[in-house]
C-alpha cells in the first residue's frame, strides 16, 4: 500500500497547556512518520495525549515546539492560501457521534458545509454529491433531510465520515471514531473506513484506546503514555511481540471474550491509575507503575531507540525484561 515516500511526519512535536500555574505537557517530543496510503494507529489511555496529537495535526492547536511536515513542507510556514488548502487536504473524524454534528442542521447541510467553504461546485452539484457521499458511507439520499438526533450512533458516525470526505481529503485523522459505538457497529465502521481508504487512497492516523481494533486497520502502531510514544512497531508485530512493559500490560489488560481463556490467563496487573501529566520530573514516566523500574529509570528519561527488528522502543531495560520473559 505504501509508496515509500514520507507523506506526513512530525519532528519533536511538543504541546503544553497552562493549567493555572502548572504546565501540562500533553504531547512530549513526538516524532513519527507516515507514508501515503498508510494507517498509523495511535493507542493509549485517557490523558496520554493521543487526541492532542491528532488535533495538532489538523491545526486545531498550535505546537509549543517541534514541527509537522506535510509532504515535506513545514505546516507552520504555510501562507494563507496554503493553510486554507490544508483544511481541504487534511480532515478529521470525531469521537462523539452526538456532539460532532450540529443539532440545528440537517445531515445534508452538515455534509455540504465543507463544499460550501471550499466552493466545490454549484448548489445542484453539491446536492448530488451529498447523495453520492451518503451512499458511499452506507446511508441513503433520503437521510439528507433528517436531523442528527434522528440517527443512531453508527449512522451519525457515518454522516461524520461523509462530512470529512466531502472535501476530498488526502489525510484523515480518525480521533477514536469507534470508542463511543456499540460493538456490532464498531466493526461496521472499521470495515467502512478500510474500504474508503482503498477506494480513495486515504492516509489515516487512527487514534484509539484499545489495541485489538487498531491492529485491523493499522500498518504501524504507536503506543503513547503520558505524552510520549513508548513503542512503535508493525501492527502484527506489536500484538504478537510487545516489548515495552506498558504495551505488555495494555495487551494483557484487554478482556478476552471467552470465559475459559479469560479465567486461566495470568494478567500483568498494573498498580494504580495513570498519573496526572502535570509537572513531570526527569526519568521514565512509566517508572512509577513499572515493576522493572530501577534508579536509572527514575532519573533519566529513555529515548525512543530503533531496534534491528524494526521495533522502536523507549525503555532502558528492554533487553533484560524481555530476556526474563
Partner 1 sequence: MIVIIEIKDLRVSFHTYFGEVQAVRGVNLKLNDNDTLAIVGESGCGKSVTALSIMRIHNMETTEFKSGKILFDGTDLFKLSEKEMQNIRGNQIGMIFQDPMTALNPSMTVGNQIAEVLLRHGRDANAKRLSSKDAKERAIELLRRVKTPSPERRANQFPYEFSGGMLQRAVIAMAMACSPKVLIADEPTTALDVTVQAQILDLIKEMQSERRVSLIIITHDLGVVANIAKNVAVMYGGLIVESGAIGDIFYRSSHPYTRGLLDSISRKNGAKNEPLRSIEGTPPDLVDPPAGCPFTDRCEYAMRVCKDHMPPESALSETHLCRCWMLDPECPLKLERRKL
Partner 2 sequence: MAVQTSISEGNKDFSRIPKDIGSSQKINRVSLTYAQGVMRTLKQNSLAMISLAFIAFIVLVAIVGPMILPDYQKQDLLHALEAQSGAHWFGTDTLGRDVLTRLVRGTRISLSIGFIAETINLVIGIIIGGISGYMGGKADMFIMRVIDIVVSIPQMIIMILLLTVMKGSVGTLLIALCVTGWTGLARLVRGQVLSLRENEYAMAAQVLGASKWRILKTHLIPNCIGPILVNYTMSVPGAIGAEAYLSYLGLGISIPEASWGNLLQMGTDQFPGALWLFFTPAIVFALTMLAFNLLGDGLRDALDPQMRR
Which residues form the interface with partner 2 (CB under 8 A)? Answer: 55, 58-60, 84, 87-88, 90-92, 94-96, 99-105, 110, 113-114, 117-118, 139-140, 143, 145-147, 149-152, 155, 160, 163-164, 167
What is the contact mask toward partner 1 in residues 276 to 295, using x (rule: CB under 8 A)? x-------------------
Residues 137-166 that bind partner 1 (CB under 8 A): 152-155
Cβ proximity to partner 2: between 134 and 238 the closer is 134
Nearer to partner 2, 79 or 263 (CB): 79
**Helix residue ranges, H only, 182-277:** 183-200, 211-217, 235-240, 245-253, 259-264
153 binds, among partner 1, partner 2, none (CB under 5 to 8 A by kind): partner 1
Contact window for partner 1 (CB under 8 A) among 15-23, 69-77, 269-277, 311-319: 269-277
Q: Which of 267, 291, 305, 306 contacts partner 1 by CB under 8 A?
A: 267
Which parts of this chain interact with partner 1 (CB under 8 A)? Answer: 45-46, 152-155, 182-188, 190-191, 194-195, 209-210, 212-213, 215-216, 235-236, 249-250, 253-259, 261-263, 267, 269-270, 272-274, 276
Amino acid at each position: 500500500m505504501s509508496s515509500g515516500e514520507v507523506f506526513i511526519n512530525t519532528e519533536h512535536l511538543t504541546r503544553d497547556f497552562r493549567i493555572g500555574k502548572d504546565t501540562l505537557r500533553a504531547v512530549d517530543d513526538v516524532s513519527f512518520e507516515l507514508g501515503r496510503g498508510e494507517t498509523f494507529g495511535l493507542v493509549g489511555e485517557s490523558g496520554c495525549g493521543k487526541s492532542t496529537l491528532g488535533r495538532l495535526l489538523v491545526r486545531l492547536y498550535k505546537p509549543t515546539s517541534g514541527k509537522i511536515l506535510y509532504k515535506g513542507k513545514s505546516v507552520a510556514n504555510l501562507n494563507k492560501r496554503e493553510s486554507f488548502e490544508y483544511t481541504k487536504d487534511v480532515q478529521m473524524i470525531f469521537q462523539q457521534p452526538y456532539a460532532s454534528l450540529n443539532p440545528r442542521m440537517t445531515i445534508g447541510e452538515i455534509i455540504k458545509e465543507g463544499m460550501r467553504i471550499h466552493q466545490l461546485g454549484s448548489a445542484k452539484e453539491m446536492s448530488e454529491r451529498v447523495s453520492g457521499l451518503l451512499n458511499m458511507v452506507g446511508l441513503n439520499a433520503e437521510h439528507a433531510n433528517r436531523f442528527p438526533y434522528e440517527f443512531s450512533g453508527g449512522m451519525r458516525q457515518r454522516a461524520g465520515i461523509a462530512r470529512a470526505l466531502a472535501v476530498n481529503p488526502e489525510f484523515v485523522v480518525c480521533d477514536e471514531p469507534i470508542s463511543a459505538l456499540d460493538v456490532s457497529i464498531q466493526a461496521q465502521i472499521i470495515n467502512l473506513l478500510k474500504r474508503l481508504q482503498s477506494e480513495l487512497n486515504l492516509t489515516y492516523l487512527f487514534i484509539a484506546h484499545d489495541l485489538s481494533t487498531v491492529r485491523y486497520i493499522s500498518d504501524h502502531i504507536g503506543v503513547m503514555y503520558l505524552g510520549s510514544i513508548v513503542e512503535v512497531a508493525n501492527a502484527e508485530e506489536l500484538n504478537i511481540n510487545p516489548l515495552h512493559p506498558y504495551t505488555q500490560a495494555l495487551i494483557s489488560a484487554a478482556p478476552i471474550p471467552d470465559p475459559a481463556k479469560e479465567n486461566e490467563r495470568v494478567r500483568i496487573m498494573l498498580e494504580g491509575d495513570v498519573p496526572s501529566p502535570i509537572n513531570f520530573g526527569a526519568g521514565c514516566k512509566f517508572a512509577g507503575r513499572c515493576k522493572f523500574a530501577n534508579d536509572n529509570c527514575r532519573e533519566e528519561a529513555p529515548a525512543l531507540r530503533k531496534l534491528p527488528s524494526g521495533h522502536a522502543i523507549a525503555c532502558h531495560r528492554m533487553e533484560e525484561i524481555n530476556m526474563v520473559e
